[in-house]
Copies of this chain bind each other. A is one copy, B any other.
Amino acid sequence: MLPNPAAKKEPIALRDMGSFHIGGRIVEVTGKPVREVVFAAGGTPAKMDPNGPYQVEQMYVQYFFPATRKGKYPLLMWHGGGLTGVTYETTPDGRDGWLNMFVRKGWDVYVSDAVERGRSGYPSPDIWPSSPVFLTRANAFERFRIGAGPGSWNPDPAKLKTLPGSQFPVEAYDNFVRQNVPRWLDSDKAIVAAYTELVQKVCPCVILFHSQAGGFAFRIAQEHPDKVKALVAVEPAVPGDPAKAAALKNVPTLMVFGDYIEQDSRWPTMRAKDVSFGDAIKAAGGSVDVVDLPKVGIKGNSHMLMMDKNNGQVADLIQDWLVKKGLVE
């Protein structure tokens, strides 16, 4: 979907916007043969010596600061696996994403691309010998509770087996597929290092995170609870370390889950692990709110809550919780 410049929206007034890269390390490559490469079609081959120092594992961060700040702390938005910060921008069908919504609500928002994804770049095979994985056009449809599980996707839109009542903008599903990027399966350490550096630089903050980023945000908050004023866990695929649950006793935590969890093959187990982790935080004296959206009357949400047609309603629910926690001026 393309932007519609004629669409009537409230203007967004920013006191600043921009981006930076953070973190990473320098790796020296040695002993590799010089290659011959042709940089432009028809050009003369040039010698390319791959040996030398490389900057790797840095992370891209884009920020938007509203003219009138109301969130007491910056709000960091961390995406899930195989995706980038685009997750929080415009929805696949061209509506405002949570980035715009929370900037409009007065939050200083930082959106990042985890290490090795999107604008963060990725290291050469000389440095990371493993390979990333690539997902088929059908994968997210069947796995993210848009369709009714394996076999529900079909190249013919008329034959898609979409979950009844789904709020996902199915007519724009292929625009979501376009947002997918390759992902490595052994990059957690580098990702955590870069996010940790971000937290140390721009926090205290609130971290809103999705799916795979549960494995990063919970653990980083457990290591640096003084830096984190609240955690908003949107269908975290991975909980924190239960043995260190007490570290989060002063970090109010909201967990949000969408619809169709019970009928999914994987989500009942993942949700149970998250809830059990939340129980451990509560047992240590912490505050954890688990919201199953269907139970509060918000139905039809896929795993991509921030893109669903009712994404504004879910954003409002999160904002209400942040207000209740005293995080909004």
Closest Cβ of chain B: how far from A81's Cβ, in Å?
A: 8
Number of chain A residues whose Cβ lies closer than 8 Å to a Cβ of chain B: 84
Q: Which of A69-97 contact B (CB under 8 A)?
A: 81, 84-86, 89-90, 94, 96-97
Q: Are B21 and A52 in contact (CB under 8 A)?
A: no
1/0 per residue A105-136: CB within 8 Å of B? 00010000100001101111110000101101
Q: Are A15 and B9 in contact (CB under 8 A)?
A: yes
Given contacts A2-B202, A118-B119, A133-B48, contact A100 B54 (CB under 8 A): no
Please, which residue of chain B has its CB at the minimum distance from the CB of A126? Answer: B134
Given contacts A11-B67, A53-B155, A134-B124, contact A58 B16 (CB under 8 A): no
Of the candidates B12, B18, B86, B90, which one forms a contact with A89 in the assembled complex, judged by CB atoms under 8 Å apart? Answer: B18
A26 at the B interface (CB under 8 A): yes
Q: Are B90 and A121 in contact (CB under 8 A)?
A: no
Of the candidates B13, B19, B174, which one forms a contact with A55 in the assembled complex, judged by CB atoms under 8 Å apart? Answer: B174
Q: Are A18 and B41 in contact (CB under 8 A)?
A: no
Q: State in angstroms the CA–CA spacing of A106 and B182 once bound together.
A: 36
A60 at the B interface (CB under 8 A): yes
A238 at the B interface (CB under 8 A): yes
Please, which residue of chain B has its CB at the minimum distance from the CB of A23? Answer: B178
A147 at the B interface (CB under 8 A): no
A242 at the B interface (CB under 8 A): no
Q: State in angstroms the CA–CA spacing of A202 and B1 once bound together.
A: 12
Q: Which of A198-213 contact B (CB under 8 A)?
A: 201-202, 212
Closest Cβ of chain B: how far from A309's Cβ, in Å?
A: 16
A246 at the B interface (CB under 8 A): no
A37 at the B interface (CB under 8 A): yes
Q: Which of A276-310 contact B (CB under 8 A)?
A: none
Given contacts A5-B108, A67-B11, contact A20 B202 (CB under 8 A): no
Q: State in angstroms the CA–CA spacing of A88 and B62 once bound together.
A: 12
Contacts of A121 in B (CB 8 A): 118, 178-182
Of the candidates B5, B16, B58, which one forms a contact with A65 in the assembled complex, judged by CB atoms under 8 Å apart? Answer: B5
Q: State in angstroms the CA–CA spacing of A131 and B122 once bound together.
A: 13
Given contacts A178-B24, A182-B121, A185-B38, contact A19 B90 (CB under 8 A): yes
Residue of A3, A51, A52 with most partner-chain B CB within 10 A = A3
Closest Cβ of chain B: how far from A311's Cβ, in Å?
A: 13
